[in-house]
Amino acid sequence: MTKEYDRILDFIKEDDFEIILCWIDKNTYGEIHYEPEQKILINIYLLVFDTFIHEYMHEKYPELKGLKGEEKINDKTRKFVSRMKVSEIKKLAKYLMAEYHKS
Ligand SMILES: [Zn+2]
- Give me ligand 1 centre to Cα 11, in Å: 31
Task: List the domain boundaries for the chain.
Answer: 3-102
**CA distance linking residue 30 with residue 51, whole number of Å:** 15
Q: What percent of the chain has pLDDT over 70?
A: 99
- Give me ligand 1 centre to Cα 1, in Å: 28
**CA distance linking residue 83 with residue 75, whole number of Å:** 13
- Give me ligand 1 centre to Cα 78, in Å: 13
State the average pLDDT over residues 13-31: 95
User: Residue 27: pLDDT above 70?
Assistant: yes
User: Residue 44: pLDDT above 70?
Assistant: yes
- Give me ligand 1 centre to Cα 52, in Å: 10
- Give me ligand 1 centre to Cα 49, in Å: 14
- Give me ligand 1 centre to Cα 87, in Å: 25
Which pTM was predicted?
0.86
Instruction: Write the pLDDT tens digit of every residue in 50-98.
Output: 999 999 999 999 999 999 999 999 999 999 999 999 999 999 999 999 9
- Give me ligand 1 centre to Cα 19, in Å: 28
The confidence score (pLDDT) of residue 100 equals: 75
